[in-house]
Structure 1
């Protein structure tokens, strides 16, 4: 497989160690400098990615599972997103006991900016 090109694997599928290491190298070489330039941490990037895909929002638990974070770490990320105006919390329209986290317009704009910078 050419350097810098990774195969797509289904979640839970076996991936050769060389591909995992190559993916880590790619994150360090390509993703982290873009995030640093925009003042965004990897945890915020991962959360914005998932929230941008979820128009109706996600519960904190759902988001945590998707970003592989513990409940306390997920709460800290959500608090940071809300404080920075990148997301907001709202009650679920069908079950008011559930609280959803939704990307704000600013959060979606930042996500698009990050993707564009990675594509550049």
Structure 2
């Protein structure tokens, strides 16, 4: 599992480094895009698997690059919400097909089918 993760991260790194992003930053950007709309940092942490400090570091860099907005939730001041900026939406649209293609190449290069791999991964998360 660790070797597969390193291989996928390596392929993703090649794609996202051209935009001066790390794999963690891409993961955050991709998750926010998938969740559509302002989302809590806790929800992003849960779906990316990043620890609090790693998530904060990634979001800080994305905010500095003007790819993400961060704001306090008006209904619950303890929650911090993040959302893509227009620039973040555009960059995600540009990189997503390349990243997803790189991920698919790793899966297609294995003897395991995508369906089989998803079944195993679902079993691990239960």
Aligned to 1:49: 30
Q: Which has the higher contact order (CA 8 A, sep 6+)?
A: 2
Consecutive unaligned residues of structure 1, counting only runs of 5 or more, are 1-16
Does the residue aligned with 2:54 lie in a helix, a strand or coil? Answer: helix
Q: What is the aligned residue count?
A: 100
Of residues 21, 44, 57, the one that matches 1:76 is 57
Does the residue aligned with 1:90 lie in a helix, a strand or coil? Answer: strand
Question: Residues 92, 43 of structure 1: CA spacing in aligned structure 2 closer, same or farther, 3 A cutoff?
Answer: same
Distance 1:77 1:107 in 2: 14
Quote the RMSD (CA, aligned, Å). 2.2
* Length-normalised TM-score, structure 1: 0.69
Consecutive unaligned residues of structure 2, counting only runs of 5 or more, are 103-126
Pick the structure with more helix per residue: 2
Of residues 20, 41, 52, the one that matches 1:60 is 41
Question: Residues 27, 76 of structure 1: CA spacing in aligned structure 2 closer, same or farther, 3 A cutoff?
Answer: closer
Does the residue aligned with 1:89 lie in a helix, a strand or coil? Answer: strand
